[in-house]
Amino acid sequence: MTTVLTYGTFDLFHYGHVRLLRRLRDMADVLIVGVSTDGFNAAKGKSSYFPYEVRCEMLMSCRYVDTIIPEVSWDQKRADIKRHDVDIFAMGSDWAGKFDDLSDLCRVVYLPRTEDISSTMIKANLFRERAFQPGAARIA
């Protein structure tokens, strides 16, 4: 059984996310997704439109995802790989080389991003149209 682990914020869930998750699932029997918490995003100087719980809810509705874990710090990855017996650690190619130090624990791969789509791009386009307010969605 092959377990793949990836991390991300997954704000404004879009087709690029779906394609990434599908490619990851094609490599895995089990796909674990670490989702950046609101607190961790704040520490990184980022904010999400949707709160952590809603982003997790959207991801869990995706048939490719088996398990979600909270990402609360940069340095938790090594422990998560061991705890979940991960075979492959995978990230988008924008992170190429940043996690090579984990290759002593598992295979590390960087997948190409889907062109012409990202949450950052969507936010920028919406902000230009004055329709976007970071952190605006507070869904009960």
**Residue 139 lies inside a defined structural domain of this protein:** no
Phi, psi (degrees; rounded to nearest 5) at 118: -165, 155
pTM of the model: 0.84
Residue 118 has pLDDT above 70, yes or no: no
pLDDT given for residue 11 in this prediction: 87
- Residue at 134 is within a domain: no
Q: Which among 64, 77, 63, 60 has a CA at the least distance from the CA of 27?
A: 64
pLDDT of residue 12: 82
Provide the b/e sequence for 61-97 (b: ≥16 CB within 10 Å). Answer: ebebbeebbebeeeebbeebbeebebbbbbbbeebee
| Residue 24 placed within a domain | yes
Q: For residues 85 and 105, give the distance between their C-alpha atoms in angstroms, rounded to a whole number.
A: 9
Residue 32 near residue 67, CB atoms below 8 Å: yes
Mean pLDDT of the chain: 88
- Determine, yes or no, domain membership for 138: no
- Distance (Å, rounded) from C-alpha 119 to C-alpha 108? 24
Instruction: Check residue 140 and give its pLDDT.
Output: 45
Whether pLDDT at 29 is above 70: yes
- 77 assigned to active site: no
Contact 136, 117 (CB under 8 A): no
CATH label of the domain that carries residue 83: 3.40.50.620
Residue 82 falls in the annotated catalytic set: no
Tens digit of each residue's pLDDT (9 = 90 or more) over 30-73 = 999 999 999 999 999 988 889 999 999 999 999 999 999 999 99
Residue span of the structural domain in which 86 resides: 3-128
Strand partners, 69: 34
Contact 5, 47 (CB under 8 A): no
Which stretch of 62-66, 99-103, 126-130 has the lowest confidence by average pLDDT? Answer: 126-130
What is the per-residue DSSP string for 34-59?
Answer: EEE-HHHHHHTT---SS-HHHHHHHH
60 belongs to a structural domain: yes
Segment 94-120 shows an average pLDDT of: 87
How many independent structural domains does the chain possess? 1
Say if 13 falls within a structural domain. Answer: yes
- Answer whether residue 136 is part of any domain: no
Decide if 29 is inside a domain. Answer: yes
